[in-house]
Amino acid sequence: MCDRDRARRPVLGDQHARRPRRHPARSPTQDGGVTVRRTTLRRIGVPRSLTRGWGLAGALTLVALLALAVAGPLLAPHPLDEPVADVGQLPGPGLWLGADQLGRDVFSRTLHGGLTTLGVSVGGTLALYLVGVPLGVVAGYRGGWVDAVTVRAADVLLALPGLLLALLLVAGLGGSGGVLLLCVVLTQLPALTRLVRTATLEAGSRAFVEAARARGESAVRVVGFDVLPTIRPVILADAGLRLRSSVIVVAGLNFLGLGLHPPTADWGLMISENRDIIGLNPWAALAPGALLALFTVAANAVGDESAATRTATRTAARTAAGTAAGTDPTDAAPTDADPREARP
């Protein structure tokens, strides 16, 4: 046997080590596909709590309802205010949800009503966070008289019940979409400000934040690169609950007749208008009520899953820190990992 043949002949001891492993092909619906999809969602910035379980189901439901609210007016088969049947007519051909107290198509008005209800609620929630997060961060980071003034102002608003404050605003400014948005912001601003302030105080005591201050970095840079990434899980966990509360405020005021006025299509207003004919056509009030309930349950699921994920992450971090230090994991302090190092 020549040297060339000996070189080509595999060694028996290394035969299994050199042979490549062949894994069975997995379908996209198996664990591998799910893991890939979760990894992709994480890479584009989707929180971990919204990539699995009830968090994913709630997020998909919220997206579907918001898409329905935006595209609903384009899909309505009948005009918004035109009577097309008898008063309180039951569902039938051409009238999927029957007629309301004026003979208008309930299905068409339901498709139109989502834009006002969810539009004002989502817009008010966004405005709430645009105001409340900076106030809480500034109060918690600066301290001193800025913190004292912010906390005392929040205490004054907290002393007024939310419904009473909303009634005062509506009585003084009238019922409109802008006033409803203002009610959403002012009724929830004190609680959000205090929550963000507390989270900022906790983040400001971390070692990496104190190190950034010692290096002479500006307050804007410390807040943007150290504080905000640290308190982001707290804000995300609270967002679902705030959105649910916003929907309740808007729908409640419209139901009481203190918000939008007829003939505007709104889910809360539709429940109030059609409660007198619920014996003739219950779908005239049940359809918008069911959509409101579905939206609030989905928002609750997102908020609860975000809070549970945050708690599990903090527990795992304390356990790892306690194990590394050789102490009881329940007594370990939160980790002081710099969020700048976690970014790719």
By the 8 A CB rule, do 140 and 204 touch? yes
- Please, which contacts does 92-95 make with residues 24 or more away whose CB atoms are closer than 8 Å? none
- Cβ neighbours of residue 263 under 8 Å, at least 6 residues apart? 80, 81
Q: Please give the domain boundaries of the chain with CATH numbers for all domains.
A: 69-342 (1.10.3720.10)
- Amino acid (1-letter code) at residue 202: E
Q: Beta-carbon neighbour count of residue 19 at 10 Å?
A: 9
The pLDDT assigned to 324 comes to 59
190-201: pLDDT as tens digits: 999 999 999 999
Single-letter residue type at 133: V
Q: Contact at 8 Å (CB) between 76 and 111?
A: yes
Q: How far is CA 25 from the centre of its chain?
A: 37
Is pTM, for the whole model, over 0.85? Answer: no
Which residues, other chains included, contact 64 with Cβ-Cβ below 8 Å and sequence gap of 6+? none
pLDDT, residue 313, reads 63
Checking if the pLDDT of 65 tops 80, the result is yes
| Whole-number percent of the chain with pLDDT over 90 | 39
* 191: number of Cβ within 10 Å: 19
Spatial contact of 236 and 306, defined as CB atoms under 8 Å apart: yes
Average pLDDT over residues 138-161: 90
Dump pLDDT digits (tens) for 85-124: 999 999 988 889 999 999 999 999 999 999 999 999 999 9
The one-character DSSP state at 47 is: -
Per DSSP (E only), the strands in 39-164 are none
Beta-bridged to residue 99, according to DSSP, are 105
Do 240 and 299 touch, CB atoms closer than 8 A? yes
Which residues pair with residue 83 across a beta bridge?
Answer: 104
Alpha helices, DSSP H only, in 9-100?
A: 15-18, 31-43, 53-75
Q: Is 93 helix (H, G, I), strand (E, B) or coil?
A: coil
Q: Round to whole Å and give the CA distance between 204 and 197.
A: 10
Amino acid at residue number 220 = V
pLDDT at 25: 46
* Short-list 119, 134, 116, 244, CA closest to 193: 134
For 267, residues 6+ apart whose C-beta sits below 8 A from its C-beta are: 110, 113, 114, 117, 251, 254, 288, 289, 291, 292
pLDDT at 4 over 80: no
The reported pLDDT for the residue numbered 166 is: 87
